[in-house]
Amino acid sequence: MSERTLIKNLAAASDGPTSVSGWVETVRDQKKVQFVVLRDESGAVQLVHPRAFGEDGAPLEDALADTISGLAQGTFLTATGELKHDERVKLGGVEIKLDSIVTTAPAIAETPIADDSGIDKRMDWRFLDLRVPKHALVFKIQTTLEHAWRTYWVENDFIELHTPKLMASASESRAELFEVEYFDTKAYLAQSPQFFKQMAQPAGFGKIFEVGPAFRADPSFTSRHATEFTSVDAEISWIDSHEDVMKMHEELLVAGFEAVKAKHGAEIEALYGITLEVPTTPFPRIPLAEAKRIVAERGYEVPRHDDDMDPEGERQIAAYVKETFGHDFVFLTDYASSIRPFYHMRNAEDAGITNSYDLVFNGVEISTGAQREHRVDVLIEQAKEKGLDPEELDFYLDFFRYGVPTHGGFGMGLSRVLMLMLGLPNLRETTYLFRGPNRLLP
C-alpha cells in the first residue's frame, strides 16, 4: 500500500512533498489557476495548479491542466504535490500545489442526487448521500456512542451475547412476525433477544448486553419505525424492582452522551447547530396515569382506546418535563398490564399495572424496560391471558423451572437515540441502510 496522508493530519505536517487520496468535491477551472477540493474520510483540502503560459501570453501544453479540466465530481484519485501552510486558505489553512494526479476511478459527470433531493431519492443513492460530511458524521457518532456503552458495560462486569435471529416461536406478538421457510418447517425472525437474554439469568451470567438486529413486520410508514433495526439490550439479575433497571439505563446513556460530546461536540455544533447536553441523573420519573393528567391539563386528551401514551402525549409530557425540570429525558412508569407483554412483572399491590417503564427522549419513546416475572406458574397464567399457548413457550418456561434470580432489563432503538440526539426528522437519516415496508434496496 502506497504511503497516504489523511487530510486531517495535514495541518500538523511540515511543508514539503505529500500525497493524499479521496474524491473530488468541487473543481474551479479558472483562466490562470485551477482549484480542486479533495475530500477523504477525515476532511477536505484544496489542491492548486497554476496554468502555464508562454511569453506571448498563450497557454502552453499542460497535461495536468487537461486532466483537472476533465475531472467530474466524485472521481476518486491520488494527488501528489507540495504541502504549504497559508493562513489565508479558508479550508484548513493548508493547500497542496499539484505535481501529479492519478485517477483511481472516474465518476459519471451527472450525479443523481443534489443538496435538495428528497429523503427517498437520497436513500436510493445512499453511498453518494453519505459522502456529505453532515450525513457521515452520524455514523462516527454512532461508533463513539456504542463504544462508550460497551465500555460502561464491560467495566461493570457485563457479558456480551450474540443471540440467534431465527426463532421457533414468537418472543412477543405474532402480529409483527416475519415468517420464513426453514427446511421442512417454519421459523420467525426475532423481534427482540428477549427470551435469550432472560435465559442468561438462570445460566448465572448476572449481567448481559447485546447490540444486534431485530425485525418487526409492522406496516408503519412513520418517521420513527423500521422493519429492521438495531436493538440495544441489557438484562441484570438480583434486582428489587424496575428502579434498578432505570438506574443502570440512565448511567449508560450519560456515559454515551459524555463520550459523544467530548469527541464530536464541536462538529455537531458546526454541522447541526446543536449544543449537545449531557443529561443529569436521576432522570425524572412520572407514573403514566399522572403523566396523562398533566397532558390533559396542557389541553390534550390522550385517546382512551388503550392504556398507552400516544405520540402527541409523549411530545406534551416531554415539553412539560423540559419546562419543569430542564431535562430531555423522562421515565414513564407503571404501565397497564393489559398493554404489556406477559413476561412483565405485575405490581404486588395492583395487578392492573406492571413494574415497567418507557423512556421518552425529546418527545419520542426510545425504550421499554421492566422487571420480569420469574415465577413459572405466574408466567403460564399471564401467557394464557395474552392468548399464547404455553406449550409453544415450553422451551422458554423451562428457564424458570430450575431456579432463576429476580431480573429485569430493557430494549432500546439505536437509530432513534441518534435521531433525537441530532434533532433529525426521520429515522432513515440515522440508519445506514433503512428497511421499511416499501424498501429493500440498496
Q: Where are the domains of the chain?
A: 7-105, 126-430
What are the phi and psi torsion angles at 114 (to 5°)? -130, 180
pLDDT at position 306 is 67
Distances (CA, A) of 65 to 48, 53, 60, 103, 406: 10, 12, 10, 14, 72
Annotated binding residue at 161?
no
pLDDT along the chain (442 residues), means of 10: 86 97 96 96 97 86 95 97 95 96 96 94 98 98 98 98 90 77 96 95 98 94 94 98 98 98 98 98 97 96 84 97 98 96 96 97 98 97 94 93 98 98 97 97 96
Which residue is associated with the grid cell 441518534?
Answer: 418
What was the pLDDT predicted at 170? 65
Cα atoms in the 13 Å half-sphere on the side-chain side of 174: 9
CB-based contact 360:366 (threshold 8 Å): yes
Q: Is 64 annotated as a binding residue?
A: no
For residue 412, CA distances in Å to 12, 352, 357, 417 come to 40, 25, 12, 8
Bridge partners of 179, per DSSP, are: 188
What single-letter amino acid sits at 246?
M
Superfamily of segment(s) 126-430? Bira Bifunctional Protein; Domain 2 (3.30.930.10)
Asked if domains 7-105 and 126-430 share a fold, the reply is: no
Superfamily classification of domain 7-105? Nucleic acid-binding proteins (2.40.50.140)
How far is 83 from 65, CA to CA, in rounded Å?
19
Kindly state the cell numbers that stand for 51. Answer: 496554468
Q: Is 375 annotated as a binding residue?
A: no
Q: Give the pLDDT of residue 98.
A: 98
* Polymer length of the chain: 442
Three-state secondary structure string covering the chain: CCCCCCHHHCCCCCCEEEEEEEEEEEEEECCCEEEEEEEECCEEEEEEEECCECCCCCECCCHHHHHHHCCCCCCEEEEEEEEEECCCCCCCCEEEEEEEEEEEECCCCCCCCCCCCCHHHHHHCHHHHCCCHHHHHHHHHHHHHHHHHHHHHHHCCCEECCCCCEECCCCCCHHHCCEEEECCEEEEECCCCHHHHHHCCCCCCCEEEEEEEEECCCCCCCCCCCCEEEEEEEEEECCCCHHHHHHHHHHHHHHHHHHHHHHHHHHHHHHHCCCCCCCCCCCCEEEHHHHHHHHHHCCCCCCCCCCCCCHHHHHHHHHHHHHHHCCCEEEEECCEHHHCCCCECECCCCCCEECEEEEEECCEEEEEEEEECCCHHHHHHHHHHCCCCCCCCHHHHHHHCCCCCCEEEEEEEHHHHHHHHCCCCCHHHHCCCCCECCECCC
- Ligand-binding annotation for 22, yes or no, is no
Identify the bridge partners of residue 215 per DSSP, sorted by sequence position: 228
Confidence at residue 71, expressed as pLDDT on a 0 to 100 scale: 97
Is 174 marked as a binding-site residue? no
The reply, when asked if residue 252 is annotated as ligand binding, is: no
Q: Are 188 and 179 in contact (CB under 8 A)?
A: yes
Quick check: 93 and 87 in contact, CB under 8 A? yes
CB atoms closer than 10 angstroms to residue 247: 15
State the Cα–Cα distance between residues 142 and 341, nearest whole angstrom. Answer: 30
* 280 known ligand binder: no
The whole-number pLDDT of residue 305 equals 65
pTM: 0.94
Residues 6+ apart with CB under 8 A from 193: 161, 163, 171, 210, 212, 214, 231, 233, 411
Alpha carbons 212 and 192: distance in angstroms, whole number: 9
Query: Which residues have CB under 8 Å from 170's CB, separation 6+?
Result: 177, 188, 191, 388
Torsion of CA 401, 406, 412, 414, to 10 degrees: -90
